[in-house]
Amino acid sequence: MEINAGELNRRIQILQYTETRNGAGYLAPETEPELIHSCWAKFSRVSGTEAMKAGADLGEIRVRFVIRYTRKPVDRKMVVRYRGQDYEIEYINDYGDDHRYMELLARWTGTGGGA
């Protein structure tokens, strides 16, 4: 499936939270995540039919981001921030297997003020 570059019209950030420990060895309160990559993306919600086929909880909001392929490492421990909301990356796909686009399937984490 071909992507029209004009469809990459949503600004996103790919972030990574890091665990930090205080002097006593306990986890410190969560800090602002590190920015890994900022880019333009195509955004769409995963349909209910797709979610049911994947066995997903229909109460969760699942979305798809398609971005230009990046050589910066992106993994499932990272989150996508879109419009002030964080989405946990669940699946990463080399869209079309030609290293031109990446597809990130994600679910809303409930942070950032609502869906």
DSSP per residue over 39-71, as a string?
EEEEEEEPPHHHHHHTT--TTS-EEEEEEE--S
Kindly state the helix (H) or strand (E) to which residue 99 belongs, with its residue range.
none
In this structure, are residues 50 and 72 in contact, taking their beta carbons and an 8 Å threshold? Answer: no
- pLDDT band per the 50, 70, 90 thresholds, residue 94: very high
The tokens of 6 are what?
């004009």
Instruction: Check whether 77 has a pLDDT greater than 70.
Output: yes
- The 10s digit of each residue's pLDDT in 9-64 is 999 999 998 877 777 777 676 677 899 999 999 999 986 555 455 555 555 788 99
Category of 23 on φ-ψ map: left (φ > 0), alpha (ψ -120 to 50) or beta: alpha
74 pLDDT higher than 70: yes
Contact 80, 14 (CB under 8 A): yes
Domain-wise residue ranges, the chain = 5-108
Q: What is the mean pLDDT of the chain?
A: 83
Can you tell me the mean pLDDT for 96-109?
Answer: 91
Higher model confidence: residue 55 or residue 79? 79
Polymer length in residues for the chain: 115
> What integer pLDDT is reported at residue 114 of this predicted model?
42
- The domain defined by 5-108 carries CATH number 3.40.50.300: no
pLDDT at 1 over 90: no
